[in-house]
Structure 1
Amino acid sequence: MNLQEEFREIKLQIAEVKEAVKSKPFQEIVYDNSDVMRLLKVSQRTLATWREDGTIQYSKIGAKIYYKPEHIQEMLDAGLSNHQKR
């Protein structure tokens, strides 16, 4: 196989991958504890407290905890003061 044939084969494979990605349903983004702690610059204990008192919604699968971006945003929006909401 010469270089041109290899290049055509690679282009074909890239096109197949693009089609496969387009045909897959959208996968929702989720964050785990370490992501949210880094994103919001809070400790593990603070995040645990927010879960315990219902400040933030989460899902638990086995021992792993996940957060949806919209739930993080809802928590942040709920914390806005009246002055900031204007």
Structure 2
Amino acid sequence: MAAEILTREDLAIFKVELFKELREVIGSHPAQPRKWLKSYEVKDLLNISSGTLQNMRINGTLAYTKIGGLIFYDYEDIQKLMTATGPHKRS
């Protein structure tokens, strides 16, 4: 049984091929958004200010869940809001 010797060049080629395959796999399965988003993520997604987001919570436009001192928003609720009202402008 003969021993195989790997060179640095062999490892470099393997690395390039591995990363190429990983990019193909990741590209064919886009990342699923998280179920719960924080306020800063919702503001960026809807392109709104902190005050507008607070008003949306107060008037019931956007449901939220408060855990400890953190406020979370359901991604599906945000998607429904975006579909129903179209793009928002920063206030």
Same fold judged by TM-score > 0.5? yes
Q: Is the 8 A contact 2:35 2:76 kept in 1?
A: no
Counterpart mapping for 1:24-39 below 5 A: 29-39=35-45
Q: Give the share of equivalent positions with the same residue, in percent.
A: 35
Q: Note the C-alpha offset of 1:35.
A: 0.5
Q: Taking structure 2 as the reference length, what is the TM-score of the superposition? A: 0.53
Q: Does 2:80 match 1:55?
A: no
Any idea what the Cα deviations from partners look like across 1:26-80, whole Å, max 9, x if unmatched? xx62100001011111100000000000000110001100011111012223325
Count of aligned residue pairs for this structure pair: 58
User: What secondary structure sits across from 1:66 in the alignment?
Assistant: strand
Q: Is the 8 A contact 2:46 2:82 kept in 1?
A: no
In the alignment, which residue of structure 1 is the partner of 2:71?
A: 65
Q: Taking structure 1 as the reference length, what is the TM-score of the superposition? A: 0.56
In the alignment, which residue of structure 2 is the partner of 1:76?
A: 82
User: Which structure has the highest helix share of the two?
Assistant: 1
In the alignment, which residue of structure 1 is the partner of 2:25?
A: none
- Aligned CA RMSD, in angstroms, stands at 2.6
Tell me which amino acid in the other structure corresponds to 2:38. Answer: D
Segments of 5+ residues of structure 2 without an aligned counterpart are 1-5, 7-33, 87-91
Segments of 5+ residues of structure 1 without an aligned counterpart are 5-27, 81-86
1:59 and 1:70 mapped to 2: Cα distance? 13
